[in-house]
Amino acid sequence: NAGVTQTPKFQVLKTGQSMTLQCAQDMNHEYMSWYRQDPGMGLRLIHYSVGAGITDQGEVPNGYNVSRSTTEDFPLRLLSAAPSQTSVYFCASSERGPTDTQYFGPGTRLTVL
């Protein structure tokens, strides 16, 4: 039981490049979400999913895309990276919703030059 895994742990991109941050959980959780963490800003929700095939926007969705084709996986796509997307990204999952105990992945530190 690995919990929530994220890859890669570190990534450097050039402005305009695209990439996908991977997130997987092996706990059969329905609810998954992506946050970004910036200094002095706390964690802000990017996108979330309440189950396979269902996604919705959080508070800072612009520039990001998600899909949920399986219960286990919830990838986050950066369509055209910008320096403003330099951040630490966390994926989280919980059994049904955000009031359940949320399990966070170890994070991905992304730098956009």
Partner 1 sequence: AQTVTQSQPEMSVQEAETVTLSCTYDTSESDYYLFWYKQPPSRQMILVIRQEAYKQQNATENRFSVNFQKAAKSFSLKISDSQLGDAAMYFCAYRTYTGTASKLTFGTGTRLQVTL
Sites of contact with partner 1 (CB under 8 A): 31, 33, 35, 40-45, 48, 50, 56, 58-59, 88, 90, 92, 96-99, 101-102, 104-107
Q: What angle do CA 20, 25, 29 make, to 5 degrees?
A: 120
Q: What angle do CA 44, 66, 104 make, to 5 degrees?
A: 50
Cα gap 10→57, rounded to integer Å: 24
Look at residues 3, 1, 8 and name the one whose alpha carbon lies nearest to residue 107: 8
Nearer to partner 1, 73 or 103 (CB): 103
The nearest distance, CB 17 to partner 1, in angstroms, is: 24
Nearer to partner 1, 56 or 80 (CB): 56
The nearest distance, CB 80 to partner 1, in angstroms, is: 25
The nearest distance, CB 107 to partner 1, in angstroms, is: 5
Nearer to partner 1, 91 or 112 (CB): 91
The maximal CA–CA distance of the chain, rounded, in angstroms, is: 37
Nearer to partner 1, 17 or 95 (CB): 95
Please report, for the chain, how many H helices and E strands are present, in that order: 0, 11
